[in-house]
Structure 1
Amino acid sequence: MKKSNSIYTSKLIWFLGCRFVSTVSEQLLLFAIPLLIFQYTGEASKSGLAFLIEWLPAVLLLPFIGVLVDTYKEKKLYIIGDSLRALVSISGFLLLIYMPSQTFIILSVAASLFAILNSLNFVTLETTIGRNFDNNDIPRIQSLIQGLELSSQVIGPALASILVLFIKEMDFLIITGIAFAVTGFGVLGLPNKAKNLVVRETKSIKRVLGTIGDGFKFIAKNFFLRLLVLATMLINLVMGTVMALNPAVAQGVLGATSREYSFLAMFGGITGSIVVLLIPVFLKKSKSINNIGIASIVLLTLSGVILGIANQFYIYVIGYALLVCGIGIFNVFLRTERVKLIPKHQLGKSMGTIVFFNRLSLPLAGLITSTFTKITGPQEVILGVSIFWIVVNSTIFTYYFYNKRHAAQKDVLEL
């Protein structure tokens, strides 16, 4: 029995270890590709255009990724998905060597393919946990994965800051290619205790679109949920704008080196992780979840202003860290409120549609940055989007809290 448990644990460690390496590789690509695009073009507008190209296909294909996961076995999806990511990495590296004049196109297409495949990996991992582990094991596995994801946001940029001392950013594609080639077979480490993988009924495109439509109708009928979806879209718009323009601001405006640029993501990851760990303590002391929402608004407001006016790189880093912390806190508020608003039988349809709308802001951020950076500077674009967010989201949250309190008082009176 002890031997069986030991094998189970070792296989689980191997599987989670491979997923961790995969996530760190994603962080390396998030560092290298935007930086390479800006270094090659020297134009903030091209960085925005690349961001649009990266996210638009991934967002549009998101509903159909769920169909793939429902139709095919996880093992096959892991192997195919990571093998394709390895192929894109190696092919991208070779194309950059032999076709350097097409760097922008090569990297933009590669980023788009990575975004699609990364989404496939994320959805597959979530499904793997639910289908392949006992209910008693799921909380432990989820906490482990959450810890690995937070760690990768620190370790990935830290590793990048070391690697740039010895290799070019372009060489990161070789490293990630090798890593993905290995991690694709990490699924073979799924414990023997895992449930038999069952392939569900194949869904037609018509049924998928019907499911999206059902989710949209439910959201449209729920006043509070509509406000939360809109607020989240606007926050993601700010985050997407900052992500698209980080290289242009850090290197083009503030003169940061590649190693200093890696510190931006690393410091954001560290502070974000600390805040996530402290949220339960804050929740115990706070009387209302509304205080969490208000705290996120304050942090996001400060971050937008600082990012837009920073004249030193270290100030910009502080602004970015506040942005990451604000989003982390807001996510806790959002998930807590969302659970109260969506019935369990509507959760699947609604969440798919909500994620679709939330991520739709990312290609929109790319469109905004590629358009307006031709007229003004990248920091001015960040500041403009932030001011727009501050005005609109402050109104949304005021309206949300007021109507929520009014509805609660009405329920008390009716009782």
Structure 2
Amino acid sequence: MPRSTTTSGLPSGWLARCYLLRAADGVAGTTVMYAVPLIILTTTGSVALTGLAFLLEWLPRLLTMVGAGPLVDRRRPERVFAYVCALRTLAAVATGTALLLADGGAASAVVLSFGVLSGMLTEVSFLAVESLGAQASRHASERAHRVQAVLVGIDQSALLAGPLLGGLLLLAGPTVLLTALAALSLFAAVGACGLPSTLRSADSLPKRPSTPWAGLLIGCQVIASRPALGWLVASMTTCGLISGVLHVSAPITLTADFEFSTATAGTVWSIATVPSLLAIAAAHRVIDRLGLWATGLTGAAALSVAALTAALATSALVYGIALAVLLSGEGVLSVVLRTARARLIPPAVFASTLAVTLLMILAPFPLAGALVAALPPSRIPTLVLTCALLQMAVTAVGFRGLWHHRSAYTDIKTSTNRAWSAKTQLRDAA
């Protein structure tokens, strides 16, 4: 992990506390994402209901982003974060209590409802804590990428720790897991309540009521008015498509083509995630030496080569190495994306614009699932190859555009001035 970064203008210990809150929220969110389908499977034994739980958990997440962005912009992120974590605590306690009293269909309905609610709350808390991270990046100035490297590392670590924690606690029973989840959420809520308010001054907040659709419009306007942000999001969207296809198809490929067991297939993916943590930890040093553009291009190239290799792999070893390289490239790109995003998006409408960028980047994941579901396993390598070639083409064009507009995200003073000069216009649009 990168060492602590000095952020002038922030209270002492503020950044460390944000890191801690992000870790607690990240582990809680990934534990829910992993555990809810497993709780359904444990309590009902139904594979169909398990798939339904996954679907019901993710669809509301995407819809929630539309309204969550304006909410975080209009209310201080630390306040929204505290409220959301408190609600998740109450929901976990209520669900655990209901599981003790109910059984059968009633228990399944309770857990499904908890999955939907917790998924929505997780997206709101992510937007809030990401807004805090963007503020820290702006204060860190030239070292913003160091802050983002730590944040991405925390998120990746949570992706590893969440399923592990969920699996271990579920062995003791669903109620024990929900109790631990409630404790994590309560810790995050209490920690956020004592966090000093630093993100907005009163006159920087939108003064008119902002509906979810107004926030969506503002986010689209920001992206359209900043070509560098548009090229960055377009590149990340196609990277998200190939990543989503491999996320969905990897278990199928490992079990159908390489005759792995389901448990072993999951282990291969977890092992492939470990090198990405090392790549993220090293990303800030590479950015120090090469800059954002060259580092992003390197990550995108690594992702492209890995995707092509995965499509043509003839052994499990080559396929596993390709997954590890792909996840590493994806991690480096995340550091670059978040650093540039913090510089390009006006602070007053950061969450609204972030919500739109996340919708664009995450939209390919449901599409990837639909494509994989529609094809037989024998056609999956062709699908991966097609998506990899598409990603290479769009990324090449996107990074050419990013090169022409590099001053927008590499010149700290210029990007900050542009952000604040657009603030009044965007506030009026709200």
* Partner AA of 1:279 in structure 2: A
For structure 1, the residue ranges without an aligned partner over 5 or more in a row are: 1-7, 409-415
Q: Of residues 255, 261, 278 in structure 1, which corresponds to 2:261?
A: 255
* Partner AA of 1:60 in structure 2: L
Name the structure 2 match of 1:176.
181
Once the two structures are TM-superposed, the CA of residue 397 in structure 1 deviates from its matched residue by 2.7
Q: Of residues 217, 230, 237 in structure 2, which corresponds to 1:233?
A: 237
Equivalent-residue separation in structure 2 for 1:95 and 1:161 (angstroms): 21
Map Cα deviations across residues 131-188 of structure 1 (whole Å, 9 max, x no partner): 8999589979877656644543444445456546x43577533321232234322224
316-325 or 19-28, which moves further after superposition? 316-325
* Partner AA of 2:388 in structure 1: I
Once the two structures are TM-superposed, the CA of residue 25 in structure 1 deviates from its matched residue by 2.1
For structure 2, the residue ranges without an aligned partner over 5 or more in a row are: 1-10, 407-430
Structure-2 change in CA distance of 1:303 and 1:91 (3 Å): farther
Q: Of residues 166, 191, 205 in structure 2, which corresponds to 1:186?
A: 191
Name the structure 1 match of 2:334.
331
Over the aligned positions, Cα root-mean-square deviation in angstroms equals 4.9
* Partner AA of 1:362 in structure 2: L
TM-score using structure 1 length: 0.69
Once the two structures are TM-superposed, the CA of residue 81 in structure 1 deviates from its matched residue by 0.9
Structure 2 residue 364 is the aligned partner of structure 1 residue 359:
no
Equivalent-residue separation in structure 2 for 1:293 and 1:329 (angstroms): 10
Once the two structures are TM-superposed, the CA of residue 52 in structure 1 deviates from its matched residue by 4.6
Structure-2 change in CA distance of 1:56 and 1:333 (3 Å): same
Structure 2 residue 35 is the aligned partner of structure 1 residue 29:
no
Name the structure 2 match of 1:54.
57
Name the structure 1 match of 2:276.
272
Matched residue SS, 1:373: helix
Map Cα deviations across residues 269-313 of structure 1 (whole Å, 9 max, x no partner): 53222101222443466589346414423334424753896875x
Matches within 5 A, 1:2-401: 17-35=20-38, 40-42=45-47, 47=51, 50-73=53-76, 76-93=79-96, 98-101=102-105, 109-128=113-132, 135=139, 148-160=154-166, 162-163=168-169, 166-168=171-173, 171-190=176-195, 200=205, 203-206=208-211, 209-217=213-221, 219-220=223-224, 225-243=229-247, 254-257=260-263, 261=266, 264-265=269-270, 267-283=271-287, 286=290, 289-290=293-294, 292-303=296-307, 305-306=309-310, 318-334=321-337, 342=344, 352-353=352-353, 355-360=355-360, 362=362, 364-366=364-366, 368-370=368-370, 372-373=372-373, 376-377=376-377, 381=380, 383=381, 385-400=383-398
CA contact (8 A) 1:52 1:364 kept: no
Map Cα deviations across residues 53-73 of structure 1 (whole Å, 9 max, x no partner): 333332233242233223445
Equivalent-residue separation in structure 1 for 2:110 and 2:308 (angstroms): 32
Structure-2 change in CA distance of 1:106 and 1:123 (3 Å): same
Matched residue SS, 2:262: coil
24-33 or 283-292, which moves further after superposition? 283-292
Equivalent-residue separation in structure 2 for 1:182 and 1:71 (angstroms): 24
Structure-2 change in CA distance of 1:133 and 1:227 (3 Å): closer
- Aligned-pair identity in percent equals 17
331-340 or 27-36, which moves further after superposition? 331-340
* Partner AA of 2:56 in structure 1: I
* Partner AA of 1:386 in structure 2: V
Structure-2 change in CA distance of 1:157 and 1:307 (3 Å): farther
Equivalent-residue separation in structure 1 for 2:210 and 2:200 (angstroms): 27
Structure with bigger RCO (C-alpha 8 Å, 6+ apart): 1
* Partner AA of 1:122 in structure 2: F
CA contact (8 A) 2:33 2:119 kept: no
Equivalent-residue separation in structure 1 for 2:227 and 2:168 (angstroms): 49
Equivalent-residue separation in structure 2 for 1:255 and 1:279 (angstroms): 34
CA contact (8 A) 2:27 2:158 kept: yes
* Partner AA of 2:366 in structure 1: G
Equivalent-residue separation in structure 1 for 2:341 and 2:76 (angstroms): 30
CA contact (8 A) 2:223 2:230 kept: yes
- Aligned length in residues: 388
Once the two structures are TM-superposed, the CA of residue 356 in structure 1 deviates from its matched residue by 1.9
* Partner AA of 1:125 in structure 2: V
CA contact (8 A) 1:73 1:198 kept: no
Equivalent-residue separation in structure 2 for 1:27 and 1:352 (angstroms): 23
Equivalent-residue separation in structure 2 for 1:52 and 1:270 (angstroms): 27
TM-score using structure 2 length: 0.67
Structure-2 change in CA distance of 1:86 and 1:222 (3 Å): closer
* Partner AA of 1:152 in structure 2: A
CA contact (8 A) 1:23 1:149 kept: yes
